[in-house]
Amino acid sequence: MTHPAIVGNGEMTAAYLPTAEDVTAAGRLADVFAAVELLGKELPLDRRDRALSDRLRIVYLVARAGLGDGERLLLTQARQLAALGADVTVLSRGHPDDADLDHRERRVGTRARMRRVPYGEAITDAVPPCDLVVAGCWEFVLPARMLGLAPVVLFERGALHVLGDVPEHIRDVVAASLRAAVARYALGSRACASLEQSYGVAAREAPAAVDLAVFNPGPRRATPGRRPRGVVVVGSDGVEADRLGDARRVVAALEESHPGLGALWVSPQRDPAQPFGEVLAAPTEAERARGYRSARVYVSTAEHEVLAMTPLEMMASGTPVVATAHPGILAYATHETNALLAPVGDVDGLVAAARRVLDDDELAARLALAGRRTAVEHSWGAVAPQLLSSYAEVVRASPLATPLAGFEVALGGARFARAGDAALLRARLGSCTTREVALPVSQPALGGWRVVRWRVVARRDEGEVGTTRVYLPVRSEHPLDDSPAQACLDLLRSGEPTKALAGLVERCERAGRAAQAVLGRWVVLAMLAAGRAGDALDLARAFAKDFPTQPDYVLLVVVAARAARRPVDVSGPLETIALLGTGARFDEWFDDPYALLGTYLGFGGPTGEDDVASGTWALCP
C-alpha cells in the first residue's frame, strides 16, 4: 500500500492540517468506534469491589465540559452530589480551556475533582476505583462496562437518541449500549417513554434542576453608563434546532417597535458567526447568570430542547420567559402562568408575546414571580438528595465482586510517570478478565526522541485469551531495540538516512493501515535527515489528514515546514496537539509531542538529560 505523498508529489504541498474542530470530531468518532468494537463481546458482571460506605464514590464521564445544556447539567449534578458528601470525580473530553473554566468557577463547599482526558486516550482508562460510573454519553457505556470496576448507569441527556433520530448504521451499538447500562436515567416522562418505545429499555425519570445559588434575581441594576438590556437570546449558529434565524427576526422586530431596546446573544461558541446585538461568547457560569438577570425578557426560538435548562435558569433569574411550546419546556412551563408560549416557527407570535412583556410591567412581574416559584420546585436542593439516594440504591443492588486470579507483573525497571498510577493498575488488574495487560512504555529511541509502545507487563494463566490495554504510562531508560523497523532506525542512528529511508518506504508500501500510521512517522524523519524537507512536509500533511487523532503528524508538519523554510502558524498545531494529548490509540507514538513542539519552538524548556535541545532535532537540516 503506497501512500501518494511518499513518491514526492508536489501537489500535496497545499494539503491539509487538522484543526481543533477536526480533532474534536475525529475524537468523538473514535470513541464511537471504540464502542462498536465491543459489540458482541461478553461483558463482565455488574459488581462492586467493597461494601458500600456512607460516602458514595461516583465517576462521571462527560463528552465535553462546555456550555451545552447536557454537559452543564452533568457538571452541576456532580458538584451538587459532592456538596452532599459523595466522593465525585469528573472525567471530560474537550478543549483544555473547558476544564480550566470549571476549575475557575468552582465554589467553596464543593469537592468534585475534574480532569480533562485528551482524545488520544481512552477516557475509561482514567477511571479510578469507584462505586458507580455515570456515563453522560451512550458511547462511554460499553467501554466502562468492560472495566468491570463498578456498575455503570447512563444519564441520557441528549436529544439525538431520545427523539429517535439515530443513524441506522449505529443504531445497533446505541441499543446495545442502552441495554448494557445497569440503569438508565432520562429527563422527563416523554424521554423515558421514547426509550421504552424505541429500544425496549426502561428508564428512571430525572427532573431538570437549576442551581439557585448561581441563577437568581440578584441586583438587576444596569451597569453604570449603559442601558439595560431589553431581550436576551441563547443558542448556537451551528445547531439548527436553536433556529437562530428566527431569533434574529424577533430581535429585529422588537428593536423596531422599541428603539434602543438592546439585545444580548449568549453563544456557546468562542467565535460565533453572524453576530447580532451584544455577544456573550463562551461565558463562564457566573457571566451567564449576570447576563440572564440583566434582561427584561428572554425569548427562545428553539425547535426542541430535551433538557430545556436555559428557560428554567431564566425563571430562576427572575427574567420573564417567552418561548416556543416544545415538549422539553412543557415539562414545567404553562402558557399565561409562568411563561408565554407560541408554536415552533411562529415568529409573529413570539414578537407579540415579547411586546406584551415589555409593555406591561404587571404582566412581567407576574410571570417573573411564577417562574421563580417553578425554579424553586426544580432546584438542586430538592432534586440532588433524591438522585444520590437513587444512585446508592443501584450500587447496593450490585453483588460484591469475587476475587480473580492474580497477575505476575514485570515492569523491567520502568517507573510510573504519574503519581497514583500504581494503585490504579492494582485496581484494573483486580477487575481485568483477560490473561495479559499492556501498558504504554516510553523509551529512548533516536537522538532526543522518546517513543512509547504498548508492552505486556502483566500475565497470568487464567482468564480470557487476549490483551487489555490500560493507559497508565511508565518510563524506561532502556533504549528501544525491538521496533518492527529497528534495522532502519539503526541506519538513521549511524548517519545513513538515505538507506534508512529506502527501507522504511519499502516497509510502509507493504504495510496495512495500522502499521502505516506508525511507520509513516519514521519515513518523515528519514526524509528530513536526507535533506528532502519539501517531500517530508507533503508526507506529514497527507498522513495528518489520514490519521487526525495521531498528534505526531501535526508535530512533524511544523518541523518539516520550518526545515523547508515554509511559513507556518504554530498556534493551531499547538491547540490540536493539546486536544489529542497522545497517540495512544495507535501501536506507537512519540512521548509528549506538545512538550517536544514547545521545546523545538523555544518555549517548552528542557525535558530531561536527552531533551530536544540536546539532539532531538539533529536529524533536521
User: With 70 as the cut, is the pLDDT of residue 204 above it?
Assistant: yes
The DSSP line for 318-365 is T--EEEE--HHHHTT--BTTTBEEE-TT-HHHHHHHHHHHHH-HHHHH
The better pLDDT of the pair 404, 344 is held by 344
pLDDT band at 534 (very low <50, low <70, confident <90, very high): very high
Number of continuous H segments (helices) and E segments (strands) in the chain? 22, 20
pLDDT for the residue 517: 93
| Per-residue confidence band for 75, with pLDDT thresholds at 50, 70 and 90 | confident
What is the chain's mean pLDDT, rounded?
Answer: 84
Domain regions of the chain by residue span: 4-12+407-619, 46-206, 229-373
pLDDT > 50? residue 494: yes
- Rounded to the nearest angstrom, the gap between the alpha carbon of residue 36 and the centroid of all alpha carbons in its chain is 18
Higher pLDDT, 362 or 22: 362
Choose the weakest-confidence range: 189-203, 350-364, 526-540: 189-203
Least confident of 25-29, 313-317, 387-391: 25-29
Instruction: For residues 157 and 135, give the distance between their C-alpha atoms in angstroms, rounded to a whole number.
Output: 10
C-alpha cell at 414: 520502568
Helix, strand, coil % in the chain, rounded to nearest 5: 45, 15, 40
- C-alpha closest to that of 185 among 74, 69, 54, 84: 74
Kindly state the average pLDDT of the residues 101-106: 42
Contact predicate 475/490, CB 8 Å: no
Higher-pLDDT residue of 105 and 260 is: 260
- Grid coordinates representing 459? 500475565
Find out if CATH 1.10.10.10 is the number for domain 229-373: no
Supply the pLDDT for residue 529: 92
Residues 6+ apart with CB under 8 A from 494: none
Per-residue confidence band for 106, with pLDDT thresholds at 50, 70 and 90: very low
Task: Please compute, for residue 90, the number of CA atoms within 13 A of its CA located in the half-sphere on the CB side.
Answer: 32
Please report the sign of the dihedral spanned by the C-alpha atoms of residue 319, residue 325, residue 327, residue 332: positive
Fold match between domain 46-206 and domain 229-373: yes
Q: What is the pLDDT of residues 232-289, one digit of tens each?
A: 999 888 778 889 999 999 999 999 999 989 999 998 877 777 778 899 988 888 899 9
* Residues 544/553, Cβ–Cβ less than 8 Å: yes
Most confident by average pLDDT, 100-109, 350-359, 507-516: 350-359
- pLDDT tens per residue across span 465-485: 889 999 999 999 999 998 888
Whether 174 and 161 have beta carbons less than 8 Å apart is answered as yes
Could you tell me which residue, 9 or 257, shows the higher pLDDT?
Answer: 257
At residue 158, the pLDDT reads: 61
Nearest-CA neighbor of 476 among 493, 453, 492? 453
pLDDT, tens digit, 9 for 90 and up, residues 336-368: 999 999 999 999 999 999 999 999 999 999 999
Tens digits of residue pLDDT in 145-173:
998 889 999 998 765 555 556 777 788 99
pLDDT at res. 68: 61
Provide the grid cell at 397. 443492588
444 - beta bridge partners? Answer: 450
* pLDDT at 208 > cutoff 90: no
Bigger pLDDT: 84 vs 189: 84
Query: Does the domain formed by 46-206 have CATH 3.40.50.2000?
Result: yes
Helix intervals (H) in 200-340 = 244-257, 285-293, 309-316, 327-330
